[in-house]
Amino acid sequence: MYEGFHKYIPFQPVPLPDRTWPDKVITKAPIWCSVDLRDGNQALIDPMNLEEKLRFFQTLVDIGFKEIEIGFPSSSETEYEICRTLIDRNLIPDDVTIQVLVQARPHLIKKTFEAIQGAKNVIVHFYNSTSTLQRKVVFKTDMQGVIDIAVNGAKLIKELTDEEVARTGMNIRYEYSPESFSGTEMDNAVAICEAVMDVLQPTPENKLILNLPNTVEMSTPNHHADQIEYFCRHIKNRDSLHPHNDRGTATAATELGLLAGAERVEGTLFGNGERTGNADIMNVAMNMYSQGVDPELDFSNIREIREIYEKCTRMKVHDRHPYAGNLVFTAFSGSHQDAIKKGIDYMREHDTQYWEVPYLPIDPADVGRKYEPIIRINSQSGKGGAAFIMQQSFGYELPKAMHPEFGAMVKAACDEAGRELLPNEIFDIFRAHYLDVKYPYNLKKYKLYEENDTEGETVVHFEGNLRFRHEDHLISAVGNGPIDAFFKALRTVGIHDYKFVTYREHAVSEGADSKAISYIQLTAPDGRTVFGVGMDGNISLASIKGIICAINRACSEQKDPEGEAK
Ligand code: KIV
Ligand code: ZN
């Protein structure tokens, strides 16, 4: 029996029967604050070096973050140095505010003010832990003791801010975090924040940011939202969320927290951070995007952002990570593939302004991803899946009548391989079954030219060297078009009774060149219909090659026993 659950105390929700957040929807982006360079960085096995932090900082600026927590400058020389480098090298755009974290302890606060000298816009973010559990087991103090720490910290910060502003005009804002907010009794959380506000005296123009960390996620997101709504009702302020992801629901907690009244979100890219991480800002932002809300952050190049993130943090983004994972725009199931194809066709045909493709919550192109990897083929894929890959990845538009035949070939190859096939492997099957079929007939040399006949009508001459098995036959004929001439030439060596059923051709680019590809469906003398494919720079020769391919495919012996049919 798995009995250990008895030792856990269930979370005690705040009673809020008249909660209003469940009926709300998110209609605008919050203020975003990236804590990648602090919360994210402190949770790395190898924290970022100066160069990596600078690169990451620039990436955050490029994405559009206007508030960036750059570190904990009083905690180490390295942290101090990054703060100084950003300021001294003038790397902080005027519209970006750097945020610096500090514990509510006097010597650390003083060092922090030294670190920010010369900056234009700064948020001084101070915190102390307030939770029931930490008071009991860590600080061994009552709530008043914890309030005193916060109030004394606030007094010193206010004093140093007033001096700094008078001296340099620096734009300093305050942020206070009752750390472990979600594990704190709500009336105590309100009391400590009120005490801090009494000291800092925020005004409507210069509000204090009250950050409400879900330091350890301990409840379902609805109970977290109740806590936020409770707090917002008691203190009207610029309340900020700082969710962690211990239960794996930080995205939901962030979204419900916004419904509950928060105006600001602290989090990281891809959810890096202590233990299971912080809230993933990219995820929350792209969720808004997918609902038609401008997230005010730009993830249109998510591959590059992910690459920089992986390089700097040495963390890996999971293959299933929303919007960014390798596999998130891939459909394995045949019915999904079919529906995606139909959705894409529908959008093209109807020129709709909305994204209306089943199974793809957003257009992969919106995050800089491509359509090619959307569908990969396994033995469950429908008959249209392989044709879709040929179209999306290689530009080959197989006629619909050919889909079942080619789909069956790909399915057989999947079954044999016992795994999914990649687009290149699907192309190899196509090549082997259609493009490289040059036995028993192989057209070695060919010439087409036009002439006027005795009655002044334009006629087409076909001349060629048709190899049958290992014998060359010079064939020639005149017809009213290239295909007519070729069929007549074939008759001179006894090939007749093949009839055209359908024909389709289109251009396909091969490197810098464009070639014509023809799909020819013939009826063989025994009544079977066969497809052949021909490709050539000359559209008429593409069709002629397609006819030979179809005839070869109708023959029982398609492999040269001497292995030289090239
Ligand atoms: O998770 C947390 O509580 C924090 C605070 C320092 C804001 O990171
Ligand atoms: Zn945190």
Q: What's the CA dihedral at 448, 450, 454, 456 to 10 degrees?
A: 160
Segment 238-265, tens digit of pLDDT:
799 999 999 999 999 999 999 999 999 9
- Is the per-residue pLDDT at 462 higher than 70? yes
* Atom number, ligand 1, closest to the C-alpha of residue 266: 7
Name the residue with higher pLDDT: 500 or 317: 317
Q: What is the pLDDT of residue 456?
A: 84
Please give the average per-residue pLDDT across 429-444, as a whole number.
93
Q: Span 473-498, mean pLDDT? A: 92
pLDDT tens digit string along 48-63?
A: 999 999 999 999 999 9
How far is the centre of ligand 1, averaged over its atoms, from the C-alpha of 179 (Å)? 6
Among the atoms of ligand 1, which is closest to the Cα of residue 274?
Answer: 1
Cα–Cα distance, 449 to 299 (Å, whole number): 56
The highest-confidence range among 270-274, 409-413, 422-426, by mean pLDDT, is 270-274
Q: Whose CA is nearest to atom 5 of ligand 1?
A: 179
Question: Measured in angstroms, how far is the CA atom of residue 35 from the centroid of ligand 1?
Answer: 10
Is the pLDDT reported for residue 511 higher than 80?
no
Greater confidence (562 vs 433) lies with 433
Name which of 443, 553, 544 is nearest 484 in CA terms: 544
How many angstroms separate the alpha carbon of residue 40 from the centre of ligand 2? 8
- Of all ligands present, the nearest one to the C-alpha of 127 is 1
Distance CA 457, CA 400 (A): 37
Interval 435-463 mean pLDDT: 90
Residues 472, 477, 478: CA angle, nearest 5 degrees? 155
Cα(100) to centroid(ligand 2), Å: 13
Q: What is the pLDDT of residue 337?
A: 80
Atom 2 of ligand 1: nearest residue by CA position: 215
Least confident of 22-26, 274-278, 333-337, 529-533: 333-337
Confidence band for 373, pLDDT divided at 50, 70 and 90? very low
Q: Which ligand does the CA of 274 lie closest to?
A: 2
Average pLDDT over residues 307-325: 97
178-232 pLDDT, tens digit per residue, is 999 999 999 999 999 999 999 999 988 788 999 999 999 999 999 999 999 999 9
Q: How many CB atoms lie within 10 A of CB 453?
A: 10
Q: Is the per-residue pLDDT at 521 higher than 80?
A: yes
Specify the higher pLDDT residue, 560 or 97.
Answer: 97
Question: Quick one: what percent of the chain has pLDDT higher than 70?
Answer: 96
Q: Could you give the C-alpha distances from 482 to 477, 514, 525, 543, in angstroms and in order?
A: 10, 21, 22, 9
What is the rounded CA–CA span in Å between residue 420 and residue 391? 18
Q: In this predicted model, what pLDDT tens digit does every residue of 70-128 receive, in sequence order?
A: 999 999 999 999 999 999 999 999 999 999 999 999 999 999 999 999 999 999 999 99
Taking CB atoms and a 6 Å cutoff, what residues make up the pocket around ligand 1?
Answer: 39, 127, 177, 179, 211, 213, 215, 242, 244
Residue nearest to atom 8 of ligand 1 (CA): 39
- The residue whose CA is least distant from atom 1 of ligand 1 is 215
- Segment 436-446 shows an average pLDDT of 91
Mean residue pLDDT of the chain comes to 93
Of 105, 177, 182, 209, the one to substitute when testing ligand 1's pocket (max ligand atoms within 8 A of C-beta) is 177
Ligand 1 atom closest to residue 39's alpha carbon, by position in its atom list: 8
pLDDT in tens, 147-163: 999 999 999 999 999 99
In Å, how far are 83, 152, 202, 243 from 110, measured between CA atoms? 15, 13, 21, 28
Q: Which of 39, 180, 239 most suits a substitution to test ligand 1, by most atoms within 8 Å of the C-beta?
A: 39
Amino acid letter at 293? Answer: V
For residue 129, report the distance from its CA to the centre of ligand 2, in Å. 12
Q: If pLDDT is split at 50, 70 and 90, which confidence band does 398 have? A: very high
15: left (phi over 0), alpha (psi -120 to 50) or beta: beta
Query: Residue 271 C-alpha to ligand 2 middle, in angstroms?
Result: 11
Please tell me the predicted confidence (pLDDT) of residue 454: 82
